[in-house]
Structure 1
Amino acid sequence: MIKVIGIGPGSREWLPPVIDQIVASCEVLFGGKRALELFPNFPGDCIILSGKLSETIQEIRLALTEKKQVGVLVSGDPGFYSFLPMLKREFPKTEISVYPGISSMQFAFARAGLPWQEAELHSVHGRPLNRLPLTFQKPLAILTGGENTPQKVAAYYDGYGINLKISLGNLLSYPEEEWVTTDAQMLAQEKKTYNHAIVLLYPPSLKEGDNLENTQTLENAGLGIPDEEFIRGKVPLTKEEIRVQVLAKAKIQENDKVLDVGAGTGSLSIEAAQLARRGWVFAVEEDNEAQELILLNQTKFGIPNLQLVRGTAPQAFEKVPQVDVCLIGGSHGQLKEILEKAPLRSGGRVVLTAVTLETVGRGLELLQQQDFEEIDVISIQAVRWKGIKDFHMAQAMNPVFILNARKRQLE
């Protein structure tokens, strides 16, 4: 049998008495050095967990072969980002008993004086920062560790122009405990080392005394907002039928960051933001009238995760961080420079629309030259049938070409 034992935040006074009884029932105990020091009178064998988990697994397997009762100490609670999932995978036929502890996450919310049943919990210890949501209406708590320090989390949000209020708890429950409330800009510049930290991010919409259960996130309203719903001037609008196809090719995920080049009235940006409801959309536009229309439509549709970037591409890209998807609707003869300088991550998707054969040919040539793969081209000519008295007459729209490709992954 393997007993997976949560030791809570890591100090003796936060261990319930029953944990001592469970540890005493084991014959061999695995844990980190600090965890094992909590049980100085343990009579059995103590084995410090190796940095190489494969070695630890072999040690546990050997102890089980010798019919020993195995205890594995994990910090916090075993059910929250611990060694437990690996143990269940490696020992599927072994009985595994789990004993809860107070997680550092519980401790952090207690320090903040906030309920956490509606909060969102993440870990960036060994996981990429770019999967963290940029749009959220409820507290976001993050376990940090390894290369992803609290400062890097703060810099990630500050890089998107999101200066959130942040609380940081380091070494919670220890004599050296720190609890600091600051903001993303300040924390990103902090030089102090935080080795065992939880960061708690407060959404901009959350005010003191708010009921967390009544807050809402941006929901995907579905593709294909009718053209007449958008506020329009003399600026060209990407038609509904084309938007649907472009967004289908873009394969936008809810946490994605999207760049819309030549955003026009913002119709594509609006729908992209609804798909990337926990990500962010950067709408690059140089025309003054179009810029104002983007802002008006953003307000009309209540889109919080859209940022207008005033300027001409590719020069305006200096204001845009790395993105997962790049939509290109207008290039003004600078398609080569736009594709070269777009801040598209390795493996990200680009979707380009064109209305002339020359642009299609140039786009294909550039995508092949610039090391894109999975290049695909379709052409669409939508026809709307308008009712006139007892008949329906065809209203053909201009054909549009849609090119899409994936930026080749770095080796």
Structure 2
Amino acid sequence: MTPVEPVPLDPPEATVVGVGADGWPGLPEASREVLRGAQVLIGGGRQLDLLPEECPGARIPWPSPLRPAVPGLLAEHRGSRIAVLASGDPMFYGIGRALAEVLGPDALRVLPHPSSVSYACARIGWPLEDTEVITLVGRPAARLAAALHDGRRLLVLSADATTPATVAALLRERGFGPSRMSVFEQLGSADEACTEGTAETWQHAPGDPLNVIAVACRRAPGTLRLGAVPGLPDAAYENDGQLTKRHIRAATLGALAPAPGELLWDIGGGSGSIAVEWMRGHPSCRAVSVERDPVRAERIARNADRLGVPALRVVTGRAPEALDRLPVPDAVFIGGGLTAPGLLDACWEALPAGGRLVANTVTLESEALLGAWHRRHGGDLVRLAVAHAVPVGGFTGWRQAMPVTQWSVTKPQPETPAPQDAGENQS
């Protein structure tokens, strides 16, 4: 059988080349050939300095901020042979993502290099598939808190030389001081180094800015245990009593059914527990918490930071007016203010087809309103009751919490008109 010759692809508009800390000596010949032949070389100053004189292309450092400059810079040099330098694997928290979004994957050629994560796992002997990776490059350190579980292995991509000390302080504050830390610097280069210790005793001076932190999580005795599913202990939240309690919260998140990348409107945020646990469900989940009381709004932000979702957006204002210009939600939770004129109508109108709405109430007036909406739109109308065992003299009895009425519904697709009979007179 005669082999079929592969069809040559059109030349890419740009080639992105992964470079390690060892620079030119660590590159395979295919990557070197691209860099020698490039007319335009774009990258960070440190990366450009790693190239030898045999790469004669014009060297252009990335401006700051980087991401908004990408389209214009590529357009300026369209038609030239462009090579973009990236650290390690360009498609792993690298510039490759932005280039693929601007040019499209068919116009981009990627030549990856082993990432710092691969090097770190090789050095410490951790299986990469069992290790969670969190980047703190351009992101708040508080997001690390959501990944803290006893026995979990984490790799943290550092923003700079001060990140290890910041991580150690956060681990201590969150009750994970006994966690073992290994800071790997200049992985893959002749200057590679490793510093080790525990978070509670970490006093090392800042080292090389190019570092990765391996964290073997260990919870200190007495630290509140936080699980990975909805229904965190009530004690995890700073609150003034305006808190969806643990068991009701778990049922509510179950009805909301968060999925990766989705956006929640949490209306009447209170302590922010619904929005916080929505976002803890997956790193890509997003939420906006709307709270009219500014003191509570500040408290929501503190809870979000403490529990590892600092990206939670808090809007201080009264709904439905505060809902104007918010991004379209995938789901809406109403935990307070149900009887505010126009609130349910505004939320229903904002939801796209397939979006979910969940509303909780403990009052007869709001319950009547939910009953009316249930008759109109269907869904599930349930009453949730929780009782706790309490001392009764020398015995034990049940103390009933206020029952919660919950309506949950998925907005249907709009009805399409039935086609007219072909034989019908359409004049």
Could you say if the C-alpha distance between residues 278 and 68 of structure 1 is closer, same or farther in structure 2, counting changes exceeding 3 Å? closer
Q: Deviations over 1:254-296 (max 9, x none)?
A: 9xxxxxxxxxxxxxx9xx99x96899xxxxxxxxxxxxxxxxx
Task: Tell whether the 8 Å contact from 1:124 to 1:148 is kept in structure 2 after alignment.
Answer: no
Look up the match of 2:132: 120
* C-alpha separation in 1, matches of 2:193 and 2:245: 53
1:209-358 map, 5 Å: 220=229, 244-248=247-251, 344-345=300-301
- Structure 1: 5+ residue runs without aligned partners? 206-216, 224-240, 255-268, 280-323, 326-338, 350-366, 385-394, 403-411
Displacement of 1:202: 1.0
Look up the match of 1:335: none
Please say if 1:379 is aligned against 2:365. no
Code of the aligned partner of 1:50: P
* C-alpha separation in 2, matches of 1:32 and 1:398: 59
SS in 2 for 1:204: coil
Task: Tell whether the 8 Å contact from 2:161 to 2:207 is kept in structure 1 after alignment.
Answer: no
* C-alpha separation in 1, matches of 2:385 and 2:303: 34
Q: Deviations over 1:54-101 (max 9, x none)?
A: 34542221111xx11111010111121111111122223861011110
Displacement of 1:107: 1.5
Please say if 1:101 is aligned against 2:84. no
Counting aligned pairs with the same residue, the percent is 22
Q: Deviations over 1:35-60 (max 9, x none)?
A: 22332211222212222323454222
1:30-109 map, 5 Å: 30-40=42-52, 41-53=54-66, 54-64=68-78, 67-92=79-104, 95-109=107-121
Look up the match of 2:188: 173
Could you say if the C-alpha distance between residues 400 and 342 of structure 1 is closer, same or farther in structure 2, counting changes exceeding 3 Å? farther
Number of residue equivalences: 269
SS in 2 for 1:135: coil
Displacement of 1:20: 0.7
- Structure 2: 5+ residue runs without aligned partners? 1-12, 220-225, 232-243, 260-272, 290-294, 306-316, 324-333, 339-360, 364-382, 387-397, 406-427
Code of the aligned partner of 1:245: I
* C-alpha separation in 2, matches of 1:26 and 1:181: 41
Could you say if the C-alpha distance between residues 113 and 242 of structure 1 is closer, same or farther in structure 2, counting changes exceeding 3 Å? closer
Displacement of 1:172: 2.1
Could you say if the C-alpha distance between residues 128 and 3 of structure 1 is closer, same or farther in structure 2, counting changes exceeding 3 Å? same
Could you say if the C-alpha distance between residues 253 and 343 of structure 1 is closer, same or farther in structure 2, counting changes exceeding 3 Å? farther
- TM-score normalized by structure 1? 0.54
* C-alpha separation in 1, matches of 2:399 and 2:69: 67
Could you say if the C-alpha distance between residues 19 and 399 of structure 1 is closer, same or farther in structure 2, counting changes exceeding 3 Å? closer
Code of the aligned partner of 1:186: T
Q: CA RMSD in A?
A: 4.6
- TM-score normalized by structure 2? 0.52
Among 138, 156, 161, the alignment partner of 2:170 is 156
SS in 2 for 1:142: strand
Look up the match of 1:185: 200
